[in-house]
Structure 1
Amino acid sequence: KRYKEMSLEISKMEDEQRKVYYRQFFHADPVARMDDEEQDVLKDVSLFNLIAAYKRALDQMPKKVVHEVELLNVSVEEQTSYTIDFLRVHKETTLLKLVGHMTEKIRIIVTLIAILEMTKNKIISLVAVEGHDDVMIRPAKEMKRLTMAVE
């Protein structure tokens, strides 16, 4: 009796599978390919270059002896717009020049996060500076287009 029930179920499944037609010929599908320019957002920049530049920026920051707890309202959006404005004026810069005047660690940290976000969104590109623990920051083509659209 069990075998008979199972054979009926299997025959139903077989009938259902006959009605299914699987798609074939995938070669005609469009393939999304990235341009070489889009892939060059990070040229010879490794995580170690970013960490070394970040450490050097923190080391060059003026030291404070007094430890006061201050609540600073610093946002990633603020530092993103600051970085974009800085790049509009200077065209390209290094991380050390960008954060050289900053005296609070939190501003440097949030600026680095903003730089990583802009790199991820292909607004800027990063290039390692040979012989230095620093990173060159350049506007990507999208930022140039955004700047033209805003003006």
Structure 2
Amino acid sequence: ATCIVHYDMWQLNPSEQEVWSTRQEAEPHQVILGRIERDGKKKHHAGLTECLRTMLAGERALFHLPPSLCYGEEGHFSFPAVPPDCWMLADVELIGIKGSTDEPEMERSDMLYEERIERVKTHREHGNDLFRAGDTEGAAREYEM
């Protein structure tokens, strides 16, 4: 399944330094459950996938993530700098879910400009239908996709 998600992550140590924030980027991330790597590069932490597996669309929750699901024993010494064996605090908001495990929705980065515009129109129309039906929360989730 393709999850549309906002998340913030902080180090759970005396520094409490923020490691990542999709909210500051102003655009939610698209996460395909089960796909942590793409083209040999890590796209997101296994911890984020584990958080999303426990959530329902529209839910927001806080999670304490062990080092094994984040930066591990080694930590990370370039941006973002994270010390070894560092636990993380994740504030995760699952905005919506599209597709299925067998057929996830195509990633935005793989789409042509025209395909992205068409997807936006579809989400807007669906959001408008939900709004007219009185489901303002569902409409808001659809508009954020």
Q: Same fold (TM over 0.5)?
A: no
TM-score, structure 2 as length reference: 0.24
Which structure dedicates a bigger proportion of its chain to strand? 2
Work out which of the two has the higher radius of gyration on C-alpha atoms and give 1 or 2: 1
Q: TM-score when scaled to structure 1? A: 0.23
